[in-house]
Amino acid sequence: MLDYKEPWKVKIAETLTALLRETDTPAAGIINAAQVIAEIPPDPALGDIGFPMFSYAKMLRKGPPQIAHMVCARLTQQDEVGIDGSVKAEGPYVNVRLNRAQTAQAVLAEVLADGNFNFGRPGTLEGKKIMVEFSSPNTNKPLHLGHLRNDVLGESISRILAACGAELRKVCIINDRGIHICKSMLAYQEQGRGTTPESEGIKSDHFVGNWYVYFSTELRKQTEELMQAKGLKKEEAEAQSPLMLRAQELLRKWEAGDRETVELWKLMNSWTVEGMKKTYQRTGMSFDRYYYESNTWLLGRDEVLKGLERGLFYREPDGAVAVDLTAEKLDKKILLRSDGTSIYITQDFGTAINRYQDWPFDQMIYVVGSEQQYHFKVLFVLLDKLGYAWAKNLYHLSYGMVNLPEGKMKSREGTVVDADDLIDSLRDMALAEIQEKEREEKVGDPREIAEKIALGALHYYLLQASPAKDMLFDPKESLSFNGNTGPYLQYMGARISSMLRKKSGEAGGGDKKYDANIFSLLISDPEWELVKTLATYPQAVSEAAAALDPSRLAAYLYELSKCFSRFYHDCPILNAENPDLSAARLGLSQAVLRVLRDALHLTGIPFLEVM
């Protein structure tokens, strides 16, 4: 994989090693290329790569500016430095100016190579088996905006890791049991009167979610009444309310295998899962396997009881099973309730063990919100205590909350923005834009294109911030065709596709073969900046994988698009001053399109040939 920095890093390392060995310092040794820091100078006039010399001042007993001059003097005496160029000392930096013609030829020859697209495939994770869990929905409500951030993070990270050579397995845990499920079941059982999603004309997961909201509304009324009548705190009043007591009884019936309860549970879960899978298909999410907590919770409970027998856990006076983790700087944790029913962490034991048995991984990544950080610290510590060596390879990729400008979303109050409703709204806004610009005939199927624009807007907006940050999702801002947005990136791809179609007369523009020698003509500043940006794509993919942060690739996409826009504005392509230069610029455009299309795929943004 071409990296225009690498030959220079090697040469800098060799030169520093030679200077080090000429000193009488006891630290004399070998400096490897991996230790050499390469930076992009803040001003292009300074050069293309900058190598700071600060790290070597103590070893060489000289100031960084003096070291920079010494390194440059050595390098200029040598004939071969890999990709040809020149060096100059600027203060404490060794600045390199690359040979534009040679670098353009090397970069574009690789990007435009025949066969499968392998540019941006650094191979850093070859041989690694990585499992990624994301989405993790409950079967008491449909997917919402928070799930959408989770989904696009998990899907994008999985694609990026696979692009780096990892063997990937994407999994989804369906939280289909527990008190939250019993709440919607109880509401439907008492008030549903045999209605169905079909009879009500409602998408099946939305139908179930409405009953969860109904339960929560009634529970809030009962809680407030008990707080006023008995002077109880909110938590106490909620626990003592008739609705909550009936929901707890329903959970006990389910765990005891009561036939009527189990049948209702199966029916309502089937409605929710059916609806969720339609949303996954709509948004481009896919999983290699679904796991269901109802199939793993008993395994988790058995693990807790084994830990109790081994003395790892203990019983509280009320019969609950707990663990004291103060030695690990964590708190006491209940693992089984006093009535024997399990909690989230109990079933997470079983799910984790089941997964490793199915597919022994080298790393397991949980994409789950930041509010669960403590939960995963406890889970990983306890799996390690239970003797599972692979627990050390578990990682919680924590991400921040996502809300709308109107405020925080709450499922139980019905203020959550359902994923389907949000996408519908974005699609309708995009469709209105297409109609306003009278583009219906030019785009083919306006509704289909509007849907893809909506997904591009949504996915890019949710990815452009680093995962750890909380964020506000602004639908109107996300749909802008100008600036740092998904539609802007999609438009750039459509613009290049249109130009290539115009030249070739083929649908999609086709991939033309070029003589790499003509790329030596690409030496103007806009061309050169675009070539250098293309060359850094493998590094962008590698860094996004290492940091588990798709926002780095999103930032690369925006920078590439801006660079192409400057090039397109300043450099005539179809009407260049001579045919060879026109062909070279077309080849550069085709290379940009290849990288753009690939990076859009890795970030889950639909590529559009027309807009």
pLDDT 10s digits, 351-401: 999 999 999 999 999 999 999 999 999 999 999 999 999 999 999 999 999
User: What is the percent of the chain with per-residue pLDDT over 70, rounded to a whole number?
Assistant: 95
Of 372, 447, 587, nearest to 595 (Cα)?
587
pTM attached to this predicted model? 0.91
168 three-class SS: strand
The token duo for 309 is 């027998």
The token duo for 131 is 């499992």
Q: Can you say how many angstroms the Cα of residue 513 is from the centroid of all Cα atoms in its chain?
A: 34
Q: Where are the domains of the chain?
A: 6-98, 134-288+354-413, 419-602
Confidence of residue 23 (pLDDT cuts 50, 70, 90): confident
Residue linked to tokens 């599972």: 388
pLDDT 10s digits, 253-289: 998 999 999 999 999 999 999 999 999 999 999 999 9
pLDDT 10s digits, 420-470: 999 999 999 999 999 998 888 889 999 999 999 999 999 999 999 999 999
* pLDDT at residue 415 in the model: 54
Q: How many CB atoms lie within 10 A of CB 338?
A: 13
Confidence of residue 77 (pLDDT cuts 50, 70, 90): confident
* pLDDT at residue 510 in the model: 57
Check pLDDT > 70 for residue 1.
Answer: no
* pLDDT at residue 173 in the model: 96
User: What is the percent of the chain with per-residue pLDDT over 90, rounded to a whole number?
Assistant: 82
3-state percent breakdown (helix, strand, coil) of the chain, nearest 5: 60, 10, 30
Question: In this structure, are residues 8 and 84 in contact, taking their beta carbons and an 8 Å threshold?
Answer: no
* pLDDT at residue 544 in the model: 98
Check pLDDT > 60 for residue 525.
Answer: yes
d(CA 283, CA 304): 38
Check pLDDT > 90 for residue 123.
Answer: yes
Query: For domain 6-98, is the CATH number 3.40.50.720?
Result: no
The token duo for 247 is 């929901």
Q: How many CB atoms lie within 10 A of CB 263?
A: 10
Domains 134-288+354-413 and 419-602 share a fold: no
| pLDDT average, residue stretch 574-586 | 94
* DSSP classification of residue 333: E
| pLDDT average, residue stretch 94-120 | 92
Question: 134-288+354-413 has which fold?
Answer: Rossmann fold (3.40.50)
Phi, psi of 548 (to 5 degrees): 50, 50
d(CA 237, CA 225): 8
Mean pLDDT of the chain: 92
| Positions of E strands within 436-477 | 471-472
* pLDDT at residue 512 in the model: 75
d(CA 442, CA 372): 47
pLDDT 10s digits, 279-314: 999 999 999 999 999 998 889 999 999 999 999 999
Confidence of residue 4 (pLDDT cuts 50, 70, 90): confident
Alpha helices in 192-284 (DSSP H): 197-200, 204-230, 234-240, 242-256, 259-283
* pLDDT at residue 84 in the model: 62
Q: What is the CATH number of domain 419-602?
A: 1.10.730.10
Confidence of residue 527 (pLDDT cuts 50, 70, 90): very high
pLDDT 10s digits, 159-210: 999 999 999 999 999 999 989 999 999 999 999 999 999 999 999 999 999 9
* pLDDT at residue 316 in the model: 96
Check pLDDT > 60 for residue 580.
Answer: yes
